Structure formats: structure tokens, C-alpha cells
Structure 1
Amino acid sequence: MEAKLYVGNLPFSTGDADLQELFAKAGTVKSAQVIKDRASGRSKGFGFVEMSSADEAQSAITMFHGKDFNGRPLTVNLARPREERPGGNRRPSGGGDRRNSY
């Protein structure tokens, strides 16, 4: 059973290959992805790593959480499932409906 990890506080210069290489020290990495901004293509400073087992994921947490990586202390923990955001299909409000109440 695979285990997905959240990796936060990444240096903005970190790429997918860097993340894969780092976490390979803890076991078999199934996938590694640095999350990027859609508009600019720049790193958002966090990513996800999928390890091949829960034991390897726990080893990675123990090895890397709080440890320095290129000058930044990493945050590493089990990834939580993405939560559905309420009102996900709302249109942006232009504020044209507002009335002055005085």
C-alpha cells in the first residue's frame, strides 16, 4: 500500500527530480511532484511524494521532517485527502448589487 506525503517549505528552486532524489534515501519513491502556480509556472513551495509503503513513508517523515534542505527546514507529514470546497462553482461577484444603507 502506497503512502502519500505532503512536503512543505521547499526552496522555490526545487524541482520534481530533486524531490525524488532526496526521498529515495528513505525508500522507493513512486512519484514526486512539486506544485506549481498555473499562471506563472513558479513553484508554490510545497509538493507531494508517494512512497511505496507506509513503513517507507514513516521513515521519510522521521528522516526529513524539520531537517534542513537547501537552507529551509522541511515540513513532512502524511498528506490529507483533498477536501471539497463549499461553493466551488460560484461566479466572481462584481459587487454591483450593493446598496448604500443610510
Structure 2
Amino acid sequence: MGPRAALITLGSRGALYADGKESFVVPAFPVVAIDTTAAGDAFNGGFASALAKGLPVREAVRQAMAIAALCVSRRGAQSSMPTAETVAEFLNHNMLKEI
């Protein structure tokens, strides 16, 4: 009974995932937040979409973090949602910074 996993957003500190077997924090992408109106919706939609595509949980959380980061860097709710291409470019650019 009850949930088998939890995913908690931590704002600028990232997101925490725990499922009883593993737990980890995915750091937030550093961006200037302009409007956080749709950040949660962007994060949840990005996470669900990534899981539906079959991505591992850690990568799904990373994608959700990227989508939320892009969302908060723009004004508005619906108008701030990034395209798949924008997310891919953002992740590619930030992957190069991690190497």
C-alpha cells in the first residue's frame, strides 16, 4: 500500500528521488528565474514524457530538470514551455560543460 517512490523538487537545489532501493539528487541547471508559474507542470510533464520514452529514472529526472529550467527562464505559463528541440540543445550544451 502507498507509493513505491517519491520525487521531490527542491527548486534551485535540484530534485530528490527515492524508491527504497536507491536515492539520489539531480542538481538544478543554473538559470536566471524570470517566472516560476509553470515550473511544476513543466517538471512533471517532462518527467512523465521521459519515462514514457523508456528513459532510466535518473535521466528522466535530469530531463525534467532541464525542461523546468528552460520554463522558468521565460515569462508566462504555456508560452514558456520549451520544444523538444530546445530541450535537446540545452542538454547537449550542458553535457559539454560537465565533461
Question: Normalising by structure 1, what TM-score?
Answer: 0.28
Query: Which structure features the higher share of helix residues?
Result: 2
Question: Normalising by structure 2, what TM-score?
Answer: 0.28
Query: Which structure features the higher share of strand residues?
Result: 1
Q: Which has the higher contact order (CA 8 A, sep 6+)?
A: 1
